[in-house]
Amino acid sequence: MIQTRPRFLSFEEYLSYDDGTEKLYELFNGELVEVPPESGENVQIANRLFLAFAILLGTDRVRGHGLELEVRGEPKNRYPDLTILREEHIQLLKIRNTIRLNMAPPLLVVEVVSPGDLQRDRDYVAKRSQYQDIGIPEYWIVDPQDNTVTVLTLLETTYSQVERFQGEEVVRSPQFPDLQITSAQIFGSRADG
């Protein structure tokens, strides 16, 4: 028996699909593309950030890799490594962990760059453009290859403020000025403390 892959004409059609697994998919040109698992290093980095934000904000407003964002363009959805929610999102996401275009954007998203030129371009160019387009106020690109944290801040409709942090520099977040974490702590370059 030949199984055909489902094809979706709309994002709503995709949202109603359930293949009975816990797999994550991006919707690209109407077809499902399975999102590969993260590397162990990327998970560790995202976990360090999750802990730092959870201590500051509480766990309800901090979501890991399973949170889905509807975006314009292709693919139609993204799964940031870390997302900081608005208070209103907590109730809205109880049934499905998806922030739709008709909702307010999250306050901050973080992507941890995976090795390879394609992945770098995806995080530095494609995702930047999509996150900017939906009005996410702050976007962090955490790059383990060069141990830098790039913080992009939306000014009006463009990520025109860009700051890079490395080593023992405290990463400055315009959205969360009380956050106290260095680039070295994010990358596990020294004992967290």
How confident is the model over 9-64, as pLDDT tens digits? 999 999 999 999 999 999 999 999 999 989 999 999 999 999 999 999 999 999 99
Structure tokens at 176: 């969360």
* Residue 189 pLDDT grade (very low, low, confident, very high; cuts 50, 70, 90): confident
Q: By three-state DSSP, how is residue 6 classified? A: coil
Indicate whether 34 belongs to any domain: no
Rg (CA), the chain: 17
Indicate whether 180 belongs to any domain: yes
State the average pLDDT for the chain: 94
Considering the chain, what percentage of its residues have pLDDT values greater than 70? 95
What is the pLDDT at residue 2? 56
What is the pLDDT at residue 192? 40
pLDDT in tens, 120-146: 999 999 999 999 999 999 999 999 999
What is the pLDDT at residue 78? 98
Contacts of 48 (CB under 8 A, 6+ apart): 181, 185, 186, 188, 192
Indicate whether 93 belongs to any domain: yes
Indicate whether 14 belongs to any domain: no
Indicate whether 21 belongs to any domain: no
Cα–Cα distance list, 128 to 12, 94, 110, 161 (Å)? 24, 27, 11, 13
pLDDT (mean) for 168-184: 97
Indicate whether 85 belongs to any domain: yes
pTM metric for this prediction: 0.93
Instruction: Tell me how far apart the alpha carbons of residues 186 and 144 are, in angstroms, rounded to a whole number.
Output: 9
* Residue 190 pLDDT grade (very low, low, confident, very high; cuts 50, 70, 90): very low
Indicate whether 149 belongs to any domain: yes
Indicate whether 71 belongs to any domain: yes
Full domain range(s) for residue 115 = 39-187
Considering the chain, what percentage of its residues have pLDDT values greater than 90? 89
Cα–Cα distance list, 144 to 46, 72, 173 (Å)? 11, 28, 19
pLDDT (mean) for 163-180: 97
Domain count, the chain: 1
CATH number assigned to the domain comprising residue 142: 3.90.1570.10
